Structure 1
């Protein structure tokens, strides 16, 4: 059995599900893209190749091996994009919560059944059908759970709106001792620079009390200001629209000190090192073309 334990984003990682790019399938048709960035690359003929993405994910697997992290992988489904394991489920404390994701991604959930089955039945949670949520929007942060959401009346028009109000309320009920703090995110189906697909596309807490943030990802300035006050302005690395577009906030913490980051994030990586972090740089620019990066392709199961 797996004894899950996730209380925050930065405690020492012991076990994780890492997505796979094997048998990723052909380049999607424009109308089948889930986000504006993938559309952009399909149109431009620069959509990433399976070989390039397999290589990139293996670089991350090597970093996990270096730090003795137990790595689970999804079962490979033929011609299916299974890179973003964070979308399909997430762990808070000792519970694994299955995400109600876009209906045509159901098979991805089946592919991690071998991990799901290792968890005690009472700790496997399937939310009611009206709760839409993806793991990229959910961040346990000690006594808090931060959740990115979109509650505009036009929610159904946005394929980029992945977490609704019903899910926020359901998670609050599941964890009555936590303070659930939700943040309204800016959505666009067509412009990747104006779209925060998930909360981790515009914000992420790091070890040592630091955080990365992009102001324009938040629809409500007070909510953005709340985070600035919570972490303290001197602890925050503010990223530009261009850096948000390249997913600079979507790094991944192995511990309070160790962060996996994309090697092209030069400004961010220098800042992290100047703040005393160990930065494990990997190539992830091809995977980033699908509007997801390191946090999106990892599903932490156990941290100390």
Structure 2
């Protein structure tokens, strides 16, 4: 995993991306920084993550202190949300959630309806669309931990999507309407499990992807994207991939 992260780091540096890494904490998994916070416009929203992961947040405290206080937003205690459930595209804010009454029973349910409502009030000029995702505590092949595990826009008008990841089929149909069916790459259940939706867009043209995603990488190249394939298979075994391992602080 260390080797894979170093290769990823070099690719980001190749495109003149400044990379800050968390302070090291012994005996702590610090790979998936996307969970800790997310940036929308000029606001950094600090996630309410699982209690046992609080110390991960302390490792990026030095970065948070470098941002003006008025631009750092802390969610109310009853608002649960992680960065992997938040995707920006044009004027839209897509949010993955789980809104059924048994929400507390699922450790895999990370974003609730109250958090969605909070984001709607914080950005009233943006269109917020919430998608209910399938959840399972036992079967990873029938669980979408975050929205970016089953859906991700790339470029201006294309997207990668696992349509069976949505509880309501109407949510997938909305994505189909927004992007058009011909612009969607539909992943299989196995590809979803392998984290094929979790590539990283460096720009509208440049995508970092796992090198084993042969079918996806070919499709992206055929659609005009420059694909940077790297090894990230060991990381994927922890149910996260390239997008999960990054927390963009600056959005131009």
Q: Which TM bucket (shorter chain)? A: over 0.9
| Alignment of 1:76 onto 2:24 | yes
1:113 aligns with 2:61: yes
Q: Match of 2:210?
A: 262
TM-score (norm 2): 0.99
Per-residue CA shift, 1:263-294, capped at 9, x if unaligned? 00000000011111111011111010011000
| Structure 1 partner of 2:139 | 191
- CA deviations 1:106-162 (Å, max 9, x no partner) are 011111011111111100000100000000000122211000000111101100000
SS in 1 for 2:99: coil
Any idea what the Cα deviations from partners look like across 1:232-256, whole Å, max 9, x if unmatched?
1111000000100000000000001
Q: Which runs of 5+ in 1 are unaligned?
A: 1-52
Task: Measure the CA separation in 2 of the matches of 1:153 and 1:186.
Answer: 14
Q: How many residues align structurally?
A: 252
Other-structure match for 1:282:
230
Determine if the alignment matches structure 1 residue 56 to structure 2 residue 23: no
| 1:151 equivalenced with 2:99 (yes/no) | yes
Match of 1:294 among 237, 242, 251: 242
Report the 3-state secondary structure (helix = DSSP H, G, I; strand = E; otherwise coil) of the residue aligned with 1:280. Answer: strand
- Structure 2 counterpart of 1:128: 76
Q: Distance in 2 between matches of 1:142 and 1:121?
A: 26
Q: 2:182 pairs with 234, 239, 257, which one?
A: 234
2:163 matched to which residue of 1? 215
Q: Unmatched 5+ residue regions in structure 2?
A: none
Alpha-carbon deviation of 1:301?
1.4
In the aligned structure 2, how far is the partner of 1:140 from the partner of 1:204? 9
Higher relative CO (Cα under 8 Å, sequence separation at least 6) belongs to 1
Aligned counterparts of 2:160 and 2:90: Cα–Cα separation in 1: 17
Q: Does structure 1 retain, via aligned residues, the 8 Å contact 2:199–2:209?
A: yes
Distance in 1, Cα, partners of 2:205 & 2:88: 18
User: What's the TM-score, normalizing by structure 1?
Assistant: 0.82
1:96 matched to 2:44? The reply is yes
d(CA) in 2 for partners of 1:196 and 1:116?
A: 29
SS in 1 for 2:8: helix
8 Å Cα contact 2:41/2:251 also seen in 1: no
Report the RMSD for the aligned CA atoms in angstroms: 0.7
